[in-house]
Amino acid sequence: MFKLTAKSNKARRGELATLHGVIQTPIFMPVGTQATVKAVTPRQLNEIHAQIILGNTYHLNLRPGAQLIEKLGGLHAFMNWQKPILTDSGGFQVFSLSDLRKISDEGIHFKSHLDGQKLFLSPQSCFQIQAELGTDIAMVLDECPPFPCDKVDCATAVDRTIRWAKEFLGHAEHSGFLERGGQVFGIVQGSTYSDLRVACSQALADLPFSGYAIGGVSVGEPEDEMLKQVSYSMPHLPEDKARYVMGVGTPVQLLKMIGMGADMFDCVMPTRLARHANVFTPYGLMNLKNERFKTDEHPIMEADNYTCKHYSRAYLRHLLMANEMLGATLLSIHNLHFFLDLMAQARAHIEEDDFGLWSAQWINRYQSGVSG
């Protein structure tokens, strides 16, 4: 399970033991929604020291189907990834299908975005799908309120999220999933209502989850509001359990949330921006389609990844201008490595107990956009 190994003020250094290995935290988790991190192979993920990736219950159950994946040896064998996997419950994806879903206390009735087939997702079926996938960490089914959201409606969603969390955990316990070493994380909801966030955090903290996630952030609310809600939720979560902020974020946001006590993050940003020619550097984002890179023989930056060790900005720009698939792969490798290396740096500075000073200097440099 989770072991706290060092602290620097509120920033935490830890280890999360799973059936497929020990995860060093803080950690960023590449998103492999459909059993693949877009444009990147598992071998390449290993080379940039990815420790854990995400799969998605909603998408994988629609296509190719959880039972088929189970017959083929589970998600790890299916996609040839032997390290830990966390599966999102699919609640957020169903939330995004606002015109195709109906929520009740029993679960969520919705239509497939692929073919319009009528489907139903309950805490029991959500757990069963993730168990069939063979996940290391299963996320409970939750109701993600939209932004903006009426407080009465949000309170209803929070109450439902807590009830579903209890039911989901019960199925995990009775099935032997937890006894076999599987883990279940609860999810805090509450939109931008701090009192509801606190109440949800406290209610879930009373339940024996392996870890706790803060969900429903970065769904349209201003950045300062998102950070505020994370900061309000964090102190009410158990100190001895992993804390995961879902679906975020930028490098600056990650460092700020590590400073609040967060341990785990996921986001499609590194690969999505890579597919649109954007790369991360210590001085901010760089768009390689810019004309000034046409003859630039330098790497994106000095970094220990395949892209930066072997290719110039000029060559990468050429691939992008020619719409060659290799461009998306090479930029994705760099961006994912940038996020993973940032987490490695954060871990080192927490151990040195100077995380606050280092992160402030890092953020200042990144936001200034001026190289040394």
Q: State the catalytic residue, choosing from 263, 266, 353, 354.
A: 266
Pairing of strands 11-18, 21-25: antiparallel
The rounded distance, in Å, linking the Cα atoms of 150 and 164 is 21
353, two tokens: 């107990």
Q: State the catalytic residue, choosing from 88, 136, 142, 263.
A: 88
**Residue type for 108, please?**
I
> 325: how many CB neighbours lie within 10 A of its CB?
9
User: Which residues contact residue 280 at a Cβ distance below 8 angstroms, ignoring those fewer than 6 apart?
Assistant: 251, 270, 273, 286, 334, 335, 338, 339
Q: Give kind and range of the element (H or E) at residue 175.
A: helix 151-175
User: Which residues contact residue 128 at a Cβ distance below 8 angstroms, ignoring those fewer than 6 apart?
Assistant: 66, 171
Q: Give kind and range of the element (H or E) at residue 109.
A: strand 107-111
CB 28 within 8 A of CB 340: yes
66, two tokens: 């959880």
Q: Give kind and range of the element (H or E) at residue 101.
A: strand 101-104
**Dihedral of alpha carbons 194, 199, 203, 205, sign:** positive
Q: How far is CA 172 from CA 55, 134, 169, 177, 181, in A?
A: 18, 13, 5, 5, 11
Is 266 a catalytic site residue? yes
Give the catalytic positions in this structure: 88, 266
